[in-house]
Each structure stands twice: as C-alpha cells, then as structure tokens.
Amino acid sequence: MAWEAEITRIREEIAAQRAALAAPTAGIYWPPAEFAALLRRWPWMAEDYGDDHDDYVHDLELRLRELSASGVAALAVAPGTVEDFLHFATYVDRPPETDGLRADYAAALAEHGQYVPWPPAPDAACWCGTGAAYARCCGALPG
C-alpha cells in the first residue's frame, strides 16, 4: 500500500510540473499586413476584429488587461499569419470559419513557443511590433 501512495505522490508532482511548464494563454495578433490580408480573404472576420488595425490592437490590449485582472497569470500575444492559419486549419481538418479555430491556432502557436509574453516590461519593445517601448505604446492606451 505504501507504494500506491508513492505513485500517487509522484503523479501529483508530475502534474504540477507540467502545469508550471504549460504554454501561456495567448491572444492572436495579426500584424498590419496580415490583418489586411485576413480581412480581404474573410471579410466576415471584421465582425470580430473590426476593420481598423489600430482599434483591433487597442481591443486586444484591453482583453489582455481584463484577463490579467481576472487572475489569468500567464498571458501572451501570438503573432499569426494568414498562410500559417490556413496550414493550421488544414492540419486540424477544420474550415477557417469554425468557431474556436482562431483560439486553437493561438494556443498552438504558444505551445510551440511562438509568442511574446504579456505584458512586456515598461521599457521593453511593445508586443505590437512598433518598436516603441510598451509604456509609451500599447501600455499607455486608455482603458
């Protein structure tokens, strides 16, 4: 019976280690050219993202802040491309318009280390790719 307790303890330890190494919760970020290509290819996505890239970036920053305030600890931004999204959709055998596919794509990017941790340090480069410091870019956006 002692060995059963030891097996249970080891399993719990492994589960805790896996949780600690888990990929962060990632929001998908479409850089400007990809955002434009995405809306050209699937105009209906403007219902979710809007049709202005700056507004989209602002909304993504606000959603990340809300998630952080709600207690989600490990957050990230996963830059995506239309071509890669299409490959992902083909790989998982689901059409691009499938509910949740974009979130699954963001999660897959994060699982493969293709993300920027959020929030960046105030003087670090902003996640949106402008090259400006986060504190003077998306970090300075009003809530």
Instruction: Indicate the length of the chain as a whole number.
Output: 143
This prediction's pTM: 0.80
- Among candidates 81, 79, 77, 65, which has minimal Cα distance to 117? 77
How far from each other are the two terminal CA atoms of the chain, in whole angstroms? 56
Q: Are the CB atoms for 101 and 89 separated by under 8 Å?
A: yes
Q: What is the pLDDT along the chain (143 residues), one digit of tens a residue?
A: 677 777 777 777 766 556 545 678 899 999 999 999 999 999 999 999 999 999 999 999 999 999 999 998 899 999 999 999 999 999 999 999 999 999 999 999 999 999 999 999 999 999 999 999 999 999 997 86
DSSP secondary-structure letter at 43?
G
